[in-house]
Amino acid sequence: MSNITAEKTVNVRTISDGARPMEVDAILVKRSMIRVRRMPSAFIPSLIMPVFQLIAFSGAFGFAVTSLGIKNALDWYVPLNAMQGASFGALGVSFGLINDMQTGFFDRILMAPAQRWVTVISSLVSAVVRCFVPITFVVIVGYLGGMNTPGGPMAIVCVAIASVAIAVVAAGFALGLTFRMRNLGAATLTQFAIFFTIFLSTSQVPLSAMSGWLRGVARINRPPNSLRQLGCPCSKFMKLK
């Protein structure tokens, strides 16, 4: 009789203490990766789109970049599309969370013996893990196209760091909208925000090649100085003159 009482006491204590946050995070991140394998249609577009835009921008705006002394237009657009591809991980996180809300799995997470912030952290980690695939793909395509890296290997490292940071910010923005709206409109608004933020900056064409209101907006909305200081491929023209 005493053994049964002891076992019940242990079980009650375990449930009340809750699951370990790191273990729950790992499980939710693994589940997100399994979803990528089971639903490739939700991930492949975020992998192809950055490469498509890399080729399109290099051809459409390549002259504006190469006329300023850059040997290859890919030297400029690889960082842009690596960051853009990383930010698309936020869309995957938003779509996944919306699907969980519609299927009722999100309610199970809320009832689980784990703290609420674990759901947010696991989504951010999932976005970071997912972003390395398009970053790697874009860099490989850039090198195949003859991209130069004046900053050496450190240039790729700082592009990856900046891309991961953008992925975290975009995922946080997407989660905020998703928790608030609870429908696909959150993912749509996230996509618009990503496009507007990236395209209305100096990451698409140098500041000296802009004019009108776009120049005024891009003067404020420009890539971080850390990319310039570490010697990224497009570092020379990121500095305002």
pLDDT tens digits, 144-186? 888 888 777 888 888 888 888 888 888 889 888 888 888 888 8
Is the pTM above the cut of 0.85?
no
Q: How far apart are CA 209 and CA 205, in angstroms?
A: 7
Q: In the prediction, which pLDDT does 19 show?
A: 61
Q: In the prediction, which pLDDT does 235 show?
A: 44
Question: Is the separation of the CB atoms in 192 and 184 below 8 Å?
Answer: no
What range does the domain containing 166 cover? 2-237
Judge residue 9's burial from the number of C-beta atoms within 10 Å of its C-beta, 0-12 exposed, 13-18 middle, 19 or more buried: exposed
Of 199 and 16, which is predicted with more confidence? 199
Q: How far apart are CA 190 and CA 40, in angstroms?
A: 20
Judge residue 179's burial from the number of C-beta atoms within 10 Å of its C-beta, 0-12 exposed, 13-18 middle, 19 or more buried: middle
How many domains does the chain fold into?
1
| Three-state DSSP class for residue 166 | helix
Of 17 and 35, which is predicted with more confidence? 35
pLDDT at 8 over 70: no
Q: In the prediction, which pLDDT does 42 show?
A: 67
Confidence band for 73, pLDDT divided at 50, 70 and 90: confident
Mean of the per-residue pLDDT values of the chain: 77
pLDDT in tens, 31-47: 888 877 777 776 777 78
